[in-house]
Amino acid sequence: MARKRASEPTTITTKEAIVTSDKETKPPPLPPPRQTSNDQPIAPPKKGFIFKLSPLLIAPYFYLLLFHYQIQHDLIKPILINAGLSLAGFFLTVKLIPVASKYVLKRNLFGYDINKKGTPQGTVKV
């Protein structure tokens, strides 16, 4: 059987790609993605407002739980644990919503608020 002779590798350099005779193609590096004018920036959570409002809403709960109602001592600990886990879950949710919304918007899974149709806020992706 005859063996095919290997040709000498030659390199052709262009702006689009670097091609060698061994059929290897190296594309040029991609430029960083640009934000288009249609992309609405994701509003950060209002942490200052949340931290000011949460003690005002939690204080009556703890007053009723600890002072006003006569609750057995063996029930107070589970109720406080539940309240603490609920508060931690709330702050975790506030932190993760902007992260998740980036991925949802990237996959074009969004809608528009139909109650604000005809206003500038009616074009905001939700």
**Is the alpha carbon torsion for 80, 85, 91, 93 positive or negative?**
negative
- Whether the Cβ atoms of residue 14 and residue 23 lie closer than 8 Å to each other: no
- Tell me the CA distances in angstroms from 60 to 35, 66, 68, 69, 71, one per residue in order: 46, 10, 10, 12, 16
Contact assessment for residue 46 and residue 98, using Cβ atoms and an 8 Å cutoff: no
Query: So what's the pLDDT on residue 36?
Result: 47
In this structure, what DSSP letter does residue 70 have? -
pLDDT digits (tens, 9 = 90+) for 100-124: 888 888 888 888 778 878 887 777 7
Q: Which pLDDT band holds residue 88 (cuts at 50, 70, 90)? A: very high
> What is the residue extent of each domain of the chain?
44-126
Q: What is the mean pLDDT of the chain?
A: 76
User: What is the C-alpha separation between 75 and 46, in angstroms, rounded?
Assistant: 34
Dump pLDDT digits (tens) for 28-87. Answer: 666 655 544 455 566 677 888 988 998 899 999 889 988 898 888 889 899 989 999 998
Helical axes 47-63 vs 73-106, angle rounded to 10°: 160
Contact yes or no for 18/25 (Cβ under 8 A): yes
